[in-house]
Amino acid sequence: MIIKITESQVKKLMLFQPGNEVSMTEQGASSSWEETRKGAIGNDVKELQQALINVKYSLPRYGVDGKFGSETESAVKSFQMDHGFTPDGIVTTETLSAINNSENVNPNPTTSSGSFQGGAKSNEMAPISDDLIVDIVNGTISAGGSKNYTDLFLDSQGDTAVGILHFTKRGLKKLYKAMDTNKYFGKSQDEMVNSIKSYSGDEMKDSSWKKGMLSFLHSSESKRVQDKAATKKFKQGLTTPINSGGWNTPREYAVGMFYLNSYPKCLHQMGAKYKWDAEQMLRAYCEGECSAVSACRSRCNHINNTYPISANAGGYTYQGC
């Protein structure tokens, strides 16, 4: 019987021949290690991920899954920044050796991925306004046709989603308050607001409600009314980052609006965690640090096209995913 073994298996067997013994740290940084970066998959990536976790660079969303994605890349960059390497996210033999060194523990383990460079800030300041909010919605959140003023469907949670912001439940309350509900549903605004609880996301199953909402969405006043509801929602939600974080640029407002559109509670959680550093909060949002938010949504790239930061601004700038 002929037994075939692979080249990698031969290398591993050779490591344990007399005179070739090495420690686990030395083995992890051996010449068999190939430069690894985002997009790689396999057991080598799993070993890297476990090594990062061992030195307190956590991977809360995906853990040790063998896939070198945005979360692993972020942890690698954080390690590199904390320990004197160029933060390019590429794991060389030298980087791996340092990660395998138990003395190189995350100096700031209270954050999920280590100590981050302070975010850059755009010099294009502007006061918050209704027109600017609408521009941000159309230039980032709904850019590329990801959302439309006539949208009406059941979202991934089984809730009815309406219009340009995919208003659901609490969002519908603001929409009802901005529209002539008697005209489309034969009920007052208060009656429609009170119906949200009884429907519990199932409005689409009510044919009369669906008919009324479709009539509104395709009406001449729909865009104006939806924009009014959106500006009220975002103006209220941006009060804290403007007052506490000193936010005063369209790019910063856009970051806050991403959170407010997806998961408002997480805006304050990440604001406290990153001390209202908008660029780090943008990175956290786009890498899925909020459990209810999908990683790398299209808006994470649109923001750099619509509200870019100049290359000489200084500090960390989120580059997209």
What integer best gives the mean pLDDT of the chain? 85
CATH number at residue 92: 1.10.101.10
Q: Give the residue numbers spanning the domain of 74.
A: 22-99
Does 284 fall in a domain? no
Q: Is 144 left (phi over 0), alpha (psi -120 to 50) or beta?
A: left
Q: pLDDT tens, 209-251?
A: 999 999 999 999 999 999 999 999 999 999 999 999 999 999 9
Does 234 fall in a domain? no
Does 29 fall in a domain? yes
pLDDT at 26: 37
Does 92 fall in a domain? yes
Does 116 fall in a domain? no
pTM above 0.75, yes or no: no
Query: Distances from the Cα of 154 to the Cαs of 63, 141, 167, 253, in angstroms?
Result: 31, 19, 11, 28
pLDDT at 109: 62
Specify the amino acid at residue 127: P
pLDDT at 55: 87
Does 157 fall in a domain? no
Assigned token pair, 60: 């809360």
pLDDT at 10: 43
Does 299 fall in a domain? no
Does 293 fall in a domain? no
Asked if pLDDT for residue 15 goes beyond 60, the answer is no
Specify the amino acid at residue 308: P
State the total domains in the chain: 1
